[in-house]
């Protein structure tokens, strides 16, 4: 098992061989599709990747990726760490057509040569991102420009609220 530094590319046969497992870390800043979505591209992801051949003779890659992604909460606009622990099982196919022919429960991964572990980690992290990034309800602070406060300030009736019942009218 290789650790710490991940290779740029691996032949799927290397991973399918006995002991064919790699493990290491990848800087989040080195992921071109993920980095712009982060509050700041700091930190690293940990990837464990191994391969094999299933009972139907299909080659696969499986493993797990873990990371704490620095995101900005869209409710309170404060940064927070979003923990990802994703496991995956990908069936290697030579073309998209071959992938479409797989049973629906299998996830295809198109590969015609070497497999880049960093691409697999980035793809799995992108899939794990929430649609709307936000803290859990009990951890979220009050937004700096809360909608309720803004509505009260902008209401044309807010100024009249104190005058009703006092008999004060202006003509």
Encode pLDDT of 145-158 as tens digits: 555 555 555 556 65
Reduced to 3 states, what is the DSSP secondary structure of residue 100?
A: helix
Least confident of 9-13, 23-27, 90-94: 9-13
DSSP state letter for 165: T
- Establish if 61 belongs to a structural domain: yes
- Establish if 157 belongs to a structural domain: no
Long-range contacts of 135-140 (CB under 8 A, 24+ apart): 135/73, 135/75, 135/76, 135/78, 135/80, 139/80, 140/73, 140/75, 140/76, 140/78
Q: For residue 48, what pLDDT is reported?
A: 94
What is the rounded CA–CA span in Å between residue 33 and residue 20? 28
| Average pLDDT of span 6-20 | 73
Is there a contact between 58 and 92 (Cβ–Cβ < 8 Å)? Answer: yes
For tokens 């496991």, the residue is 87
How do residues 103-138 score in pLDDT, each as one tens digit?
888 999 888 778 888 999 999 999 999 999 888 777
Reduced to 3 states, what is the DSSP secondary structure of residue 1?
A: coil
Long-range contacts of 102-110 (CB under 8 A, 24+ apart): 106/58, 109/61
| Average pLDDT of span 33-50 | 94
- Establish if 171 belongs to a structural domain: no
Say how many domains are in the chain: 1
Q: Write out the residue range of the structural domain in which residue 69 sits.
A: 12-140
- Establish if 6 belongs to a structural domain: no
pTM, full prediction: 0.74
pLDDT: which is higher, 9 or 89: 89
- Establish if 36 belongs to a structural domain: yes
- Establish if 54 belongs to a structural domain: yes
Q: For residue 113, what pLDDT is reported?
A: 78
Q: For residue 135, what pLDDT is reported?
A: 84
């Amino acid at each position: 098992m290789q650790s710490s530094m991940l290779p740029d590319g691996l032949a799927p046969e290397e991973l399918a061989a006995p002991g064919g497992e790699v493990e290491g870390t990848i800087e989040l800043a080195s992921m071109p599709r993920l980095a712009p979505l982060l509050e700041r591209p700091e930190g690293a992801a940990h990837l464990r990747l191994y391969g094999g051949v299933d009972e139907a003779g299909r080659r696969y890659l499986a493993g797990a990726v873990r990371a704490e992604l620095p995101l900005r909460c869209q409710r309170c606009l404060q940064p927070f760490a979003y923990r990802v622990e994703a496991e995956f099982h990908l069936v290697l196919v030579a073309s998209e057509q071959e992938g479409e022919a797989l049973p629906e429960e299998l996830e295809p991964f198109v590969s015609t040569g070497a497999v880049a572990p960093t691409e697999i980690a980035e793809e799995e992290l992108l899939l794990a991102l929430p649609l709307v990034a936000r803290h859990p309800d009990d951890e979220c602070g009050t937004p700096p420009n809360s909608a309720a406060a803004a509505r009260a300030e902008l209401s044309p009736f807010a100024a009249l609220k104190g005058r009703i019942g006092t008999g004060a009218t202006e003509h």
